[in-house]
Amino acid sequence: MLKKFLPNEHVKSIFDIKPEKLKAQGIKGIITDLDNTLVAWDVADATPEVTEWFREMRAHDIKITIISNNNEQRVKLFSEPLDIPFVYSARKPLGRAFKQAVKQMKLEKDEIVMIGDQLLTDVLGGNLAGFYTIVVVPIVKTDGKITKINRMIERRILNYFKRKGKITWEE
């Protein structure tokens, strides 16, 4: 069961994810988390670098959908100016939001990558949904209340994976 928490790949940030590599893997769509994946959880708008990353993905015909457990106002405020489809109150790792994104993108599961900063929501949800999963280092070390609890559990899971030699990267 713990292997469902293991991502396929680990990178420092979304900027290490290049469209050329995704296309070579047959990836045509990205489902991404918002908070601490794209911007800090307490930052409302996309940075110029994030905007450019989205532009670069679109230039390579890679579709993007944001899935967040956060509320509609937060996700809409971030996503609408960028014209990025989104799902709010997603209840990750449950599957409803992932199914909604797949339907919206009109892609097959093996053509989609899930990107996020949390093992308990993003990686687990992406793996259960059948996607290739990439975990990024959280943008900031601070978190909301529920995420702090998740991080404590994640540390235990990561330590287990390190002891078993399943991961070699540091947080």
What integer pLDDT is reported at residue 1 of this predicted model?
A: 66
User: Which helix or strand (DSSP H or E) is residue 50 part of?
Assistant: helix 48-59
Indicate the domain borders of the chain: 2-163
Residue 59 to residue 61: CA distance in whole angstroms: 5
Kindly report, residue by residue over 82-121, the tens digit of the pLDDT. Answer: 999 999 999 999 999 999 999 999 999 999 999 999 999 9
Residue 64 to residue 73: CA distance in whole angstroms: 19
- Burial of 56 per CB tally in 10 Å (0-12, 13-18, 19+): middle
Asked if 23 and 59 touch (Cβ cutoff 8 Å), the reply is: no
Give the global pTM.
Answer: 0.90
* Lookup result for tokens 């908070």: 35
What integer pLDDT is reported at residue 144 of this predicted model?
A: 64
Kindly report, residue by residue over 123-134, the tens digit of the pLDDT. Answer: 999 999 999 999
Q: What percentage of the chain has pLDDT greater than the value 90? A: 76
Residue 140 to residue 35: CA distance in whole angstroms: 10
- In which band, very low, low, confident or very high, does the pLDDT at 171 lie, cut at 50, 70 and 90? low
Q: How many CA atoms lie within 13 A of 95 on its CB side?
A: 8
| pLDDT for 143 beyond 70 | no
Q: Using the Cα atoms of residue 38, residue 102, residue 114 and residue 94 in order, give the sign of their dihedral.
A: positive
What integer pLDDT is reported at residue 145 of this predicted model?
A: 67
**Residue 72: what are its φ and ψ, rounded to 5°?**
-55, -45
What integer pLDDT is reported at residue 75 of this predicted model?
A: 96
Q: Give me the architecture of the 2-163 domain, per CATH.
A: 3-Layer(aba) Sandwich (3.40)
